[in-house]
Structure 1
């Protein structure tokens, strides 16, 4: 891990720094989208492609981005033919999540990132989720085609409301057994898990879809606002979940399919 220039306390308090892990192959197109979402939420994103770039002391929160399937050996699964893996990224992100949790940094997991959060906390995955949830339609698009049901009495419901959301979908794996301290917060129409969240500090939420592509959608931007709010609270030594809970409630006019 390298040492980056430290920002002043005033800069960090005003614009929390968010470390973002991305794939070497897709960083050029994915990181600018996440950087935009973090900026709109009031933060500043730092890109991490390799473990040598990671500096947790320089950030106040973490985004674990999407990408290849997670190696099944990490959660007791079996390697299947034809699956693209990235062992170096697996190691990097597992270490980032472990260290972030240990240091009280909030985490937002996106697609693979949500799955990695679950695995690091002791959970497992369905390697072929659509073989298990045969009522769930398989999508591979950045367009908002999949309908997701937000579970009531969850932090995601507080952030985004309980009206169904239309989201995009690129994944083939999904959460099986939940990791320690996590609960489900959304499913699709076929019952497949689509989001999970931590029950207490440090704040953590993971979604199976790619909210970075849905920059026009109010409720998707609130995921990044929640992360930045939690990061700012952590920097100030305040309760992260309480800071997220103090966010203004979602406007009912923002929960219709055309704008979600």
Structure 2
């Protein structure tokens, strides 16, 4: 039986930890990880599903906004991942966006971002933490995320400075934090199209977080079998 290939995008250098953890989860559930970097943007790649990993803030030019902060942007990576997202969406491939990946998914659908979250926090700390110390509140809807997490509330980590503001076309909010900041979006009419603001690859010791990757690989396997 053929194993689905899962593209894992990221920067040209570094990000070993997230890449390794995502690849580990993909292998755990029977997928074949395919690491993609900006230098491979012009190459032809065949894959059955996508994980867009976290990293630097997205260049606001992609959603027609002036920069409010001045972090280090990675325009080459932005270009690669926008192209991969567009390719996946055109073929309706399963896609999981993690942190900046969720933000880029939203931007690819015409949405925009809060560029500096510290100004929008009142009830939660702006401190970054890889540990599951922040509270995720699922929206009261029958969502893919809700079926995977099987809980109205759970703990998540937080490693981001930006977040989704206005939603992209076809997306709906399925989870927020205690400051009402968007923490997860999905397209209910798509299949597996999910963006999460936290980093489930660093929480693989929690079964509910592993289910995000298990479901992605399962959806990719179904996609592969139907071709």
Q: TM-score, normalised by structure 2?
A: 0.93
Instruction: From the CA coordinates, give the structure whose radius of gyration is larger.
Output: 1
* 1:119-130 aligned within 5 A: 119-130=107-118
Task: Note closer, same or farther for the CA distance 1:235–1:55 as it changes in structure 2 (3 Å cut).
Answer: farther
Aligned to 1:52: 40
Further displaced range: 198-207 or 223-232? 198-207
Asked whether 1:209 is paired with 2:212, we answer no
Cα pair 1:139 1:145 within 8 Å, conserved: no
Further displaced range: 147-156 or 174-183? 147-156
Shift of 1:41: 2.1
* 1:220-259 aligned within 5 A: 220-237=209-226
Aligned to 2:136: 148
For structure 1, the 5+ residue unaligned runs are 1-9, 239-260
C-alpha distance after superposition, 1:48-103 (max 9, x if no partner): 11252676652100000000000111112212453111001011111110111002
Asked whether 1:103 is paired with 2:91, we answer yes
Q: Aligned to 2:135, what secondary structure does the other structure show?
A: strand
Shift of 1:132: 2.5
Shift of 1:164: 1.2
Cα pair 1:65 1:113 within 8 Å, conserved: yes
Aligned to 1:175: 164
C-alpha distance after superposition, 1:116-141 (max 9, x if no partner): 00000111111012312433321311
Asked whether 1:161 is paired with 2:150, we answer yes
- CA separation in 2, counterparts of 1:40 and 1:75? 36
Q: Aligned to 1:68, what secondary structure does the other structure show?
A: coil
Cα pair 1:35 1:45 within 8 Å, conserved: yes
Cα pair 1:156 1:185 within 8 Å, conserved: yes
Asked whether 1:191 is paired with 2:180, we answer yes
Q: Aligned to 2:213, what secondary structure does the other structure show?
A: helix
Aligned to 1:28: 16
For structure 2, the 5+ residue unaligned runs are none
- CA separation in 1, counterparts of 2:16 and 2:211? 24
C-alpha distance after superposition, 1:137-190 (max 9, x if no partner): 213111111111112321111111133111111101111111111111111111
* 1:76-87 aligned within 5 A: 76-87=64-75
Aligned to 1:138: 126
- CA separation in 2, counterparts of 1:154 and 1:137? 27
Task: Note closer, same or farther for the CA distance 1:161–1:202 as it changes in structure 2 (3 Å cut).
Answer: closer
Q: TM-score, normalised by structure 1?
A: 0.82
Task: Note closer, same or farther for the CA distance 1:68–1:206 as it changes in structure 2 (3 Å cut).
Answer: same
Of 25, 31, 34, which aligns to 1:43? 31
Question: What is the number of equivalent residue pairs in this alignment?
Answer: 226
- CA separation in 2, counterparts of 1:148 and 1:56? 38
